[in-house]
């Protein structure tokens, strides 16, 4: 397996296909095409895992100068439980560490116990925080 930086001209369609199959979001603001454009616009980084030239995983990092963030860790189902996700996560942690990051955060759905167990095995802990959000509909194409 090789991990490399995402190249929009080469990888876009394959990553969109992967995210649609893995995440299956129905909310317009989570459309993979929109998410990629918005995240790369603010200099977040997207990395892909390749096996024999085929994209089998992704991870995205963000850094705001205080905290690092992990987004969009996805692995093709047939490659899960083989260490790909942990390798992508470690790679992202190294990238964020090199940028000066002192703490890494991520968010998952509380009902996604398999993902919660995965992150725990990789050193992450559930923190007593309340995550709050507000949708800004005018910035989501096709949203009301």
Span 22-59, pLDDT tens digits: 988 777 777 899 989 988 888 889 999 999 999 999 99
In this prediction, residue 123 carries a pLDDT of 97
pLDDT tops 80 at residue 133:
yes
- CATH number for the domain whose boundaries are 2-126: 3.40.630.30
What is the model's pLDDT at position 46?
96
* pLDDT attached to residue 144: 63
Domain ranges of the chain: 2-126
Averaged pLDDT of the chain: 92
pLDDT at 143 over 80: no
| Cα 8 from chain centroid (whole Å) | 16
Burial state string for 44-58 with b = 16 or more CB within 10 A and e = fewer than 16: bbbbbbeeeeebbbb
Say how far apart CA 55 and CA 103 lie, in whole Å. Answer: 28
CA dihedral (57, 119, 46, 29) positive or negative: positive
- Rounded to an integer, the average pLDDT of 92-101 is 96
pLDDT in tens, 103-129: 999 999 888 888 999 999 999 999 988
Note whether 73 and 85 are within 8 A (CB): yes
């Amino acid at each position: 397996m090789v991990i490399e930086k995402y190249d929009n001209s080469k990888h876009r369609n394959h990553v969109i296909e992967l995210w649609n199959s893995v995440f299956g979001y129905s909310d317009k603001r989570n459309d993979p095409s929109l998410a990629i454009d918005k995240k790369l616009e603010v200099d977040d980084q997207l990395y892909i895992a390749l096996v024999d030239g085929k994209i089998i995983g992704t991870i995205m990092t963000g850094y705001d100068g205080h905290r690092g963030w992990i987004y969009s860790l996805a692995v093709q189902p047939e490659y899960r439980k083989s260490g790909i996700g942990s390798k992508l996560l470690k790679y992202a942690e190294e990238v964020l560490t090199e940028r000066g990051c002192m703490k890494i955060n991520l968010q998952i759905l509380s009902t996604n116990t398999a993902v919660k167990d995965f992150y725990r095995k990789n050193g992450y802990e559930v923190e007593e925080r309340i995550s709050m959000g507000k949708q800004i509909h005018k910035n989501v194409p096709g949203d009301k």
